[in-house]
């Protein structure tokens, strides 16, 4: 399931993130790429231990935890701390698939990358290129969102970032391990949850809302990995 979440961050929060990241020290992005991905990766990133990256990442995680749309679509079990990348001067990232398992920074815990997420921090008018292109069942999906918007998509997807030929594209990215391992099952639960919420608005107090809510939670019980 590919899902866009507009306005995850407010304009003021985007400004705070950008101000902080402007003071950060960027390093070669290939240092965090797997063997195959390193050959097609040309960008800059913040080191995992960079205090500015940790500070801005915590801001994003705090906002994310209050997003009903993210919680409904992801059903998160573990969320990796956000990382940050910068593309400029022709910087690009060719076709690749994210590593299936990543280590949680500073721990021995592993996270399965069920869901990949990008939070855009640069206004699209400020740079040329830099589209996130995701291959899915319906073909190539080209994503270039407003600053503060977020897109989430299956970690199994082949994807790429096209060369940035003008300006600079700065984004946060991270992975989520879901309670529901299969993307198709998460999509069904997301649609069911949305339908229940809409029914609660359209026909509040209807007895079938309770029945459908029970179906939702029983499916979560059946499909959950915990």
The tokens of 162 are what? 């096209």
How far is the C-alpha of 129 from the C-alpha of 112, rounded, in Å?
30
Q: Which H or E element spans position 133? A: strand 132-136
**96 marked as part of a ligand binding site:** yes
Q: Give the residue carrying structure tokens 């400029």.
A: 88
pTM as predicted: 0.94
How much is the pLDDT for 136?
86
How much is the pLDDT for 107?
86
Per-residue pLDDT of the chain (226 residues; tens, 9 = 90+): 999 999 999 999 999 999 999 999 999 988 776 666 778 999 999 999 999 999 999 999 999 999 999 999 999 999 999 999 999 999 999 999 999 999 987 888 899 999 999 999 999 999 999 999 999 888 899 999 999 999 999 999 999 999 999 999 999 999 999 999 999 999 999 999 999 999 999 999 999 999 999 999 999 999 998 8
CATH numeric code, 183-223: 4.10.860
Q: Where are the domains positioned within the chain?
A: 3-178, 183-223
- Under DSSP, the state recorded for 51 is H
Condensed to tens digits (0 to 9), the pLDDT of residues 119-175 reads 999 999 999 999 999 998 888 999 999 999 999 999 999 999 999 999 999 999 999
Sheet containing strand 132-136, edge to edge, reads: 41-42, 92-96, 159-161, 132-136, 139-143
Q: Give the residue carrying structure tokens 């960008």.
A: 43
How far is the C-alpha of 200 from the C-alpha of 67, rounded, in Å?
19
3-178 against 183-223: fold identical: no
The tokens of 135 are what? 């291959």
- Domain spanning 3-178: which CATH class is it, in words? mainly beta
**123 marked as part of a ligand binding site:** no
| Strand bridging mode 44-46 / 26-28 | antiparallel
- Spell 115-126 as b/e; 16+ CB within 10 A means b: bbbbbbbbebee
How far is the C-alpha of 74 from the C-alpha of 190, rounded, in Å?
8
CA Rg, the chain, in Å? 18
Residues 114 and 155 sit within 8 Å (Cβ to Cβ): yes
**186 marked as part of a ligand binding site:** no
């Amino acid at each position: 399931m590919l899902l866009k979440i507009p306005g995850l961050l407010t304009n003021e929060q985007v400004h705070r993130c950008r101000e902080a990241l402007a003071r950060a020290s960027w390093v070669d992005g290939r240092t965090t790429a797997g063997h195959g991905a390193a050959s097609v990766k040309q960008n800059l990133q913040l080191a995992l231990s960079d205090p500015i990256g940790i500070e801005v990442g915590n801001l994003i995680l705090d906002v994310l935890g209050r997003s009903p749309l993210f919680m409904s679509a992801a059903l998160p079990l573990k969320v990796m701390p956000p990382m940050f990348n910068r593309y400029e001067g022709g910087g690009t990232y060719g076709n690749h698939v994210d590593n299936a398992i990543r280590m949680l920074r500073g721990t021995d815990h592993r996270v399965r990358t069920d869901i990949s997420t990008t939070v855009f921090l640069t206004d699209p008018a400020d740079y040329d290129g830099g589209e996130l292109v995701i291959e899915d069942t319906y073909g190539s999906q080209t994503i270039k969102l407003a600053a503060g918007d977020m897109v989430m998509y299956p970690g199994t997807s082949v994807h790429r970032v096209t060369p940035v030929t003008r300006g600079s594209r700065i984004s946060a990215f991270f992975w989520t391990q879901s309670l529901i391992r299969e993307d198709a099952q998460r999509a069904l639960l997301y649609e069911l949850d949305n339908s229940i919420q809409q029914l609660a608005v359209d026909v509040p107090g209807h007895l079938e809302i309770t029945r459908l809510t029970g179906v939702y939670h029983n499916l979560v019980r059946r499909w959950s990995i915990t």
